């Protein structure tokens, strides 16, 4: 239940002794009998009791934390490597060929 001023007009639920009605602007109203709603609620509760779904919230938080730690470590390692690596740039291929195969035979133009 919400205060009248806080109501959300995008979805309006009404409850009666026969069931639930969902009304949305521009769409047909959906009615669910109380018996069907109770059956779906019981099925949902059984699913939530299964080990996978029961531990999903904690597992999800752990995975998000673990990924953040791993990415942080990788970023720190990358920054350390970028600061300490010396990159040797090879001379152009023509210059290498002249200096190693035929010293003194290549002209400066190529």
Q: What single string gives the DSSP state of each residue in 34-101? A: HHHHHHHHHHHHHHHHSHHHHSHHHHHHHHHHHHHHHHHHHHHHHHHHHHH--PPPPPPHHHHHHHHT
104 Rama sector, left if φ>0, alpha if ψ -120 to 50, beta otherwise: left
Higher pLDDT, 28 or 7: 28
Percent of the chain with pLDDT over 90: 45
Residue 21 has pLDDT above 60, yes or no: yes
Residue 95 has pLDDT above 50, yes or no: yes
Q: Which two tokens stand for residue 63?
A: 């995975």
At 4 the pLDDT is 82
In tens, the pLDDT along 37-55 reads 999 999 999 998 998 888 8
Domains of the chain, residue spans: 4-67
> Tokens 């990924």 identify what position?
67
Q: How many CA atoms lie within 13 A of 49 on its CB side?
A: 6
Q: In which band, very low, low, confident or very high, does the pLDDT at 110 lie, cut at 50, 70 and 90?
A: very low
């Amino acid at each position: 239940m919400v205060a009248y001023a806080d109501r959300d007009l995008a979805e309006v639920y009404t409850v009666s002794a026969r069931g639930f009605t969902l009304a949305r602007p521009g769409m047909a109203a959906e009615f669910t009998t109380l018996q069907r709603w109770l059956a779906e609620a019981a099925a949902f509760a059984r699913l939530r009791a299964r080990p996978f779904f029961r531990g999903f919230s904690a597992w999800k938080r752990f995975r998000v934390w673990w990924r953040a730690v791993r990415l942080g470590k990788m970023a720190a390692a990358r920054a350390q490597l970028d600061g300490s690596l010396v990159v040797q740039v090879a001379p152009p291929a023509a210059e290498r060929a002249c200096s190693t195969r035929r010293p003194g035979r290549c002209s400066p133009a190529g």
